[in-house]
Amino acid sequence: MPERGTKQVNQPALADFKVGVDNVIFSVDTQQNRVLVLLVMRQDEPFSAQWSLPGTLVRNGESLEDAAHRILAEKIRVNNLYLEQLYTFGGPGRDPRESPDSFGVRYLSVSYFALVRFEEAQLIAEGVSGIAWYPVTELPQLAFDHNQILEYGYRRLRNKLEYSPVAFDVLPELFTLGDLYQLYTTVLGENFSDYSNFRTRLLKLGFLADTGLKVSRGAGRPASLYRFDSEAFAPLKNKPLVFI
Amino acid sequence: MPERGTKQVNQPALADFKVGVDNVIFSVDTQQNRVLVLLVMRQDEPFSAQWSLPGTLVRNGESLEDAAHRILAEKIRVNNLYLEQLYTFGGPGRDPRESPDSFGVRYLSVSYFALVRFEEAQLIAEGVSGIAWYPVTELPQLAFDHNQILEYGYRRLRNKLEYSPVAFDVLPELFTLGDLYQLYTTVLGENFSDYSNFRTRLLKLGFLADTGLKVSRGAGRPASLYRFDSEAFAPLKNKPLVFI
DNA sequence: ACAAAAGTGTTTTTTATACACCCATGC
DNA sequence: GCATGGGTGTATAAAAAACACTTTTGT
C-alpha cells in the first residue's frame, strides 16, 4: 500500500474510516415468479424507520466476509448460501453521520452479493419484525445509497445468470425445467430463448440430474424434478459456459 | 448501512480503519510481446525497499477513485486510461502496522484495475527512480498482500479480454491485426484461436477501421494499421460479445 | 528464388433458431 | 374432449474450426 508522508510536510490529513458491510440478498419465489431482495427496517438514526439493506459495521478482529456472514445470520436462517463481494462505495458524504465539512470520520461500505433459497430461508423476526422480502420490481426508497447498491447487485445477478450456475442457489433443491426457464425469463426478459431449445441446451450440458420424481401443478402433464449435480458440473467450472 | 448499537451493551468495539487504494496498472510491450505491470519501490516502512503496487492512503474529502487517479498521476503520465475498481481486501492483519492484538487501527485496501498504453506512458522518476514495468511472468516478491491483488487483477485482465474491448486500451493507437492477435495469444495462451479465423471474426464485428497505412517489420508482407473505432463500437456496448 | 508474414477463401462441423408435433394430466 | 403445460424431433440458418492457398515484402 501507501507511502507514508515522512518527507513531504504540507500533506492533507488522512481520512479516518468506519467500514460497513451491506448485503444484497436475493432469492426467488418460484410460486409467484418474483425475484426478491431482503430488506430490513432501520431502528436507529440516521434514516430511522426507513428500509435498508441488512448491514453492519466491521468489528475489531473481524474480516469483511465474517461481518457479511454475521449480519446475514442475524437476519435469516439458511442451509444454502452463495456469497461474494460486490463493490465498495466510499465517496465522501455518502453517510449523513459524516460531518459536513468532510473532516472527521467517514463511512465506507463494502457490499456483498448473496443468494439463498426462498423456501428454505427463515427470516428472524426481531421485535416489531422489521424484515421482509421485497420484489425487485417494487422497491421502496432505501436509506443511504442503498438503492444504488441494490441496482448494482441486480445487474450482477443478471450477468451471472448467463455464464454461471447461480440459478441453482436460488431455486429449491428440486426444481422442474419449467421453474428454471421461468427464473431465466423473469430475470432476463421474455425473449432470451425458446423454451424447447433452452431445455435441450441445458440437458446436454449434463449437470442436471433427473430425480425420477414428478410434480403436477394444476393442469398439464406432470414435470420431472431435477437436481443440480455439482460433481458433474465440476469439470466445467472454469470453462466459458453459456446457459442462456 | 449499520445499526448503531444503542440498545445492546456488551458489543465488541468497532474497528477503525485507514483506507488505502492500490492500483494494478497493466500495459503491453508490443515489440517484445510482454504483459507489463507497474511496480514502485517502497521508500518507507513497512516493507521498505521492497517492490509494491503504487498505492496511497485516502485523504479527507477524497473519493476512492480520486485517490486512484492521484497516485496514478504521481507515477506516470498518460493520454489514455482505463480504470475500474477491482476488489477490496480488508482482513485483519494484512498490514504489519496493525497492532498484533487486532485492536487499534486497521488498514483496508480498495484495489483498482488500470490499463495504459506502454508507448505513450511516461514514468515519473522520483529520486532514485524506484519505479518500473515488470513482466507479469517475472514478478518479484511484493509488499503486503500485493502479489495476491496482482494475481486477482491479472485474472480480471484475462477475463475482460474475452468479452470487452480492453485490448485497445493497452495497444498503441494504431496497431496491426498481428499485434492484436499476439496480445491475445500472450495473455490467453497459444490455442485460443486460429489467426485467420480471429482476423475474420474481428473484422466482421465492424469496429476496426483500416487506416490505409502500412508497416513493414522485417521480412514478410507489410501489415495494415488499424484503429479502434469507438463510435462504431458504441451500439455493441451492451451486447454480449465474443472477441476470442 | 525463397522464407516470412499478411491476407483471402473454402470445406466441414458444430451450434443456434424456429418451429411442428406428440404426451400426460386436470377439469 | 379439450385446454394446459411437459417433452421430443426436425429442418434451416448461422457460426466456429480447420486448413489450403494467394499476396507482398526482405534478404
Instruction: Return the pLDDT at A129.
Output: 75
pLDDT interval class at B16 (50, 70, 90): very high
Given this model, what pLDDT does residue B232 score? Answer: 93
Residues of chain A positioned with their CB less than 8 A from the CB of B110: 88, 90
Over residues B4-33, mean pLDDT? 83
Residue predicted with more confidence, B93 or A177: A177
pLDDT in tens, B106-124: 999 999 999 999 999 999 9
Does position B55 have pLDDT exceeding 90, yes or no?
Answer: yes
* Rg, Å, chain B Cα set: 21
- pLDDT tens for B130-187 read 999 999 999 999 999 999 999 999 999 999 998 899 999 999 999 999 999 999 999 9
Whether the CB of A57 is below 8 Å from some CB of chain B: the reply is yes
- The per-residue pLDDT for B65 is 98
- pTM of the predicted structure, to 2 decimals: 0.92
Residue B126 has pLDDT above 90, yes or no: no
Q: What is the pLDDT of residue B2?
A: 45
Residues 189-218 of B with CB under 7 A from strand C: 195-197, 199-200, 203, 217-218
Boundaries of every domain in chain A? 16-149, 166-236
For the segment B18-23, the average pLDDT, to the nearest whole number, is 97
Which residue in the set B44, B91, B102 is minimally distant from A4, CB to CB?
B44
Model pLDDT, residue B143: 94
With the CA atoms of B186, B190, B192 and B193 taken in that order, what torsion angle do they form, in degrees rounded to the nearest 10? Answer: 110
> In this complex, which residue's CA is closest to the C1' atom of nucleotide C24?
A221
B133 within 8 A of B27, measured Cβ to Cβ? yes
B16-149: CATH superfamily: Nucleoside Triphosphate Pyrophosphohydrolase (3.90.79.10)
Tell me, which fold does domain A166-236 have in CATH? Arc Repressor Mutant, subunit A (1.10.10)
Q: Which residues contact A102 (CB under 8 A, 6 or more apart)?
A: A92, A93, B60, B61
Which of B43, B44, B85 comes nearest A88 by C-beta?
Answer: B85
Q: How far is B155 from chain A (nearest CA, A)?
A: 12
**Which residues in chain A land under pLDDT 50?**
1-8
Taking CB atoms and an 8 Å limit, are A3 and B240 in contact across chains? no
Collect all residues with Cβ–Cβ distance below 8 Å to B130 and sequence separation of at least 6: B40, B41, B42, B43
Contact A55 B102 (CB under 8 A): no
Give the model's pLDDT for residue A128: 66
Give the residue with minimal CA–C1' separation from C23: A221
Per-residue pLDDT, A29: 93
Per the structure block, which three cell numbers stand in for A35? 425475484
